[in-house]
Structure 1
Amino acid sequence: MEEVPGTLEQVRDMARTKLKGICAAYPSCDGNFDKICQREAYGKPIGLGGAGQGRSFRANTEALAGIEFNMSVLGDHFEPDTSCSFLGVDLKFPVLAASTAGAQKYNEALDETQFCISVLRGSKEAGTMGLRGDTWFYTREDHPSLNAMKACNGYGIPIFKPRSQDVLKKLVETAEEYGCKAVGVDLDGCGSTIMARQGQPVFKKSVKDIEELVRFTSLPFIAKGIMMPEEAQKCVDAGVRVVAVSNHGGRVLDSTPGVATVLPMIRKKVGKSVILTADGGVRTGYDVLKMLALGADAVLLGRDIIRAAVGAGSLGVKLHLEHVHKTLKKAMFMTGTKNLKMADSRILFNQN
């Protein structure tokens, strides 16, 4: 019988064993070449590393590391309120599991559908919600993310690769049937070569394509993988409910800026007309608060959730998200941020 972890460090130890040669669950996950994911990735299947030289992966972590807080210690004592609503779903805190996929191929560490179920259940048990992804061995007939959605009574959000419009519509119909909270397309997955090699081609999507999908579904629509203010505005004009600011964890194009660098520009462009999520380099609740202060409404966690799920299933995911929630509350307390509405640029240090 497998050990039941009682701490997050035990979860990480279990993940290190199961992901040997792929990820060592380092205390600092930053894409540097001293990390096994990046050292072993160049010229090979990408695994958990970044594309090319890993510059985009590192840009995400470096952009967040360069942001500092104003520490506020005077005032009335308070308990930070992290509660929020995301697309009509009440959450304990604005952190969701990102739309990762493919964990089964990491040393066959666990069955893919079970991986997806673990993420969805662990997220719900922590008081939040999970997104689920799409990859080359997922098919319309056997789609682990949708299988997991069905098993979890639709409590989650599937994000599909930018497949043909006809295939996407069939997947969206299944998501609607299972009662999912929203649907979306991983627009930054358009450059995936492995999908095409496996007979599941992906495509760049036009504004008309997005408009067509928005009209097709009754569910809120998420456009994921936006890094330019102008493209964010086009998505808003097309009717999407959520723009996910993301460079795919630095895994699709080398040498992009970090997400934390472009996020304020995108928020300035679109104003409050759309929900913004952000992911990329987020490891702690401190990073979450930085993203919120820069303009995000919610923050997504990717690699850490993979490690947690591989390490200890839904319990691992729950423990990790609870840890992030705890550090978010501490960050809010020490910056005088009583609730999420107060999480803005005023809590960030500015030398000018």
Structure 2
Amino acid sequence: MAKWYCTMCHTEVEQDTAPDHCTTCMAAGKLILDLEAGIPATPEDVRDQARKRLKGLCAAYPACDGNFDKVCQKEAYGKPIGFGGAGQGSSFRNNAQALMNLRLKMRVVGEHAEPDASIDFLGMNLEFPVMGASTAGIEKYNDAMPEKDFCRAIVNGCREAGTIGWRGDTWFYTPENNPALQVLKEEKGQGIPIFKPRAQDVLKKLIHMAEDAGCPAVGLDLDGCGSTIMARNNQPVFRKSVKDIKELVEFTSLPFITKGIMALEDAEACAEAGAKVVGVSNHGGRVLDATPGTAEVLPEIAHRLKGKVFITVDGGIRTGYDVLKMIALGADAVLLGRDIIRAAVGGGTLGVRLHMEHVKKIFKKAMFMTGQNRVADIDRNILC
């Protein structure tokens, strides 16, 4: 009799043959592992499995930087974008390079203290300033895993690691069949839905569903206005004015997040409209080629809005060291996208937790080695 382990809900069962699904959480059979063969114990174990399931799309390289020697980018120009960046991928590369160009100042003299990496985010205590980004659509990538399993892996893996996962929106999500909102309702609102900038009436319906699911906040992926695949599938998206954003902010009692911001003017407009969170992001370099890296535009936005709104940033962040750099530049928290997709595909909830816990460990080490005891104390003085 073999023993089987569900990477989604951690259920163990004994039976002769591999289960075709988990009887506890209904996860797909591909996410259930033979205990005798071993289960992932490290992020690298998880990435090894993700490499197989994302073959031809993402090879889970040690350096996820969008260079032309990477399978995601060398095939992207003029073809479906896959895991790569828009156009020739310079925005994707700029995200990674901007962080690589920053140096940390090591400080080892002073009173000994264990760093406190926790933060307050919209009244929620997070163990560290890292959240899962609002990704979506993974079931259309090599049929890597069912969409609801993907959403559940992000939500529960982040929760188990002491943080929260954001959930995204894509062309096959509709108000009538929205995998993210379905999972968030089933998981009692343990995640934050971020919607594409659809028509106002559609957004209001989705926001009402998020409220009904018990979500702690809702948001808008403003840079999704450039999504051609949404329009091709009868899911039109639009640029949003300050008036539009304010209308949505006032429609809900939940804190409102505006994501996809790369210009100070847009950041100030979102704050003016009443957004509680401004997310600095170029969508991982996937919506417009030739933008700066997010680490290049973050300081100006943080200088003007720090303390007035909560500032998040994503783009090129791969390690706890990168997290520290972004916090030093003025972010209140960061989001992880591609790495968390790989973690979910390679190991379900378990994979996401393993990856997030590794990032937390390295972030706390980086705080310790730069003499930082609290996240609120981190500033540009730790950069060389």
Q: TM-score higher than 0.5 here?
A: yes
Give yes or no for contact 1:229–1:270 (8 Å, CA) kept in 2: no
SS in 2 for 1:266: helix
Per-residue Cα deviation, 1:156-199 (whole angstroms, up to 9, x for no partner): 10000000000000000000001001000000000101101100
Could you say which residue in structure 1 is the equivalent of 2:232? 197
What's the % identity of the aligned pairs? 65
Q: 1:240 aligns with which of 271, 275, 280?
A: 275
In the alignment of these two chains, the number of paired residues is 349
Could you say which residue in structure 2 is the equivalent of 1:292? 327
Q: 1:76 aligns with which of 107, 111, 129?
A: 111
Q: CA deviation at 1:147?
A: 1.0
Any gaps of 5 or more consecutive residues in structure 2?
1-17, 19-32
SS in 2 for 1:299: strand
Give yes or no for contact 2:199–2:238 (8 Å, CA) kept in 1: yes
Give yes or no for contact 2:257–2:279 (8 Å, CA) kept in 1: yes
Per-residue Cα deviation, 1:211-259 (whole angstroms, up to 9, x for no partner): 0000000100000001111111111111000000000000000000000
SS in 1 for 2:226: coil
Letter in 2 for 1:298: A
Moved over 3 A (4+): none
Q: CA deviation at 1:272?
A: 1.6
- The reply to whether residue 96 of structure 1 matches residue 128 of structure 2 is no
Any gaps of 5 or more consecutive residues in structure 1?
none
SS in 1 for 2:274: coil
Q: 2:341 aligns with which of 293, 302, 306?
A: 306
Give yes or no for contact 1:230–1:269 (8 Å, CA) kept in 2: no
Larger Rg: 2
- The reply to whether residue 117 of structure 1 matches residue 159 of structure 2 is no
Compute the RMSD of aligned alpha carbons: 0.7
- The reply to whether residue 251 of structure 1 matches residue 251 of structure 2 is no
Note the 1:1-352 alignment, pairs <5 A.
1=18, 2-3=33-34, 4-349=39-384
Q: CA deviation at 1:47?
A: 1.1
Letter in 2 for 1:62: Q
The CA distance in 1 between the partners of 2:175 and 2:43, in whole Å, is: 35
Letter in 2 for 1:82: A
Letter in 2 for 1:86: F
Normalised to the residue count of structure 2, the TM-score between the two structures is 0.90
The CA distance in 1 between the partners of 2:266 and 2:166, in whole Å, is: 22
Q: CA deviation at 1:271?
A: 3.4
The CA distance in 2 between the partners of 1:32 and 1:271, in whole Å, is: 33
Normalised to the residue count of structure 1, the TM-score between the two structures is 0.98
SS in 2 for 1:190: helix
Give yes or no for contact 1:183–1:221 (8 Å, CA) kept in 2: yes
Give yes or no for contact 2:65–2:96 (8 Å, CA) kept in 1: yes
SS in 2 for 1:135: coil
Q: CA deviation at 1:45?
A: 1.6
The CA distance in 1 between the partners of 2:178 and 2:379, in whole Å, is: 39
Give yes or no for contact 1:117–1:151 (8 Å, CA) kept in 2: no
The CA distance in 2 between the partners of 1:47 and 1:100, in whole Å, is: 13
The CA distance in 2 between the partners of 1:341 and 1:219, in whole Å, is: 25
The CA distance in 1 between the partners of 2:70 and 2:76, in whole Å, is: 10
SS in 1 for 2:154: helix
The CA distance in 2 between the partners of 1:5 and 1:338, in whole Å, is: 32
The CA distance in 2 between the partners of 1:83 and 1:311, in whole Å, is: 27
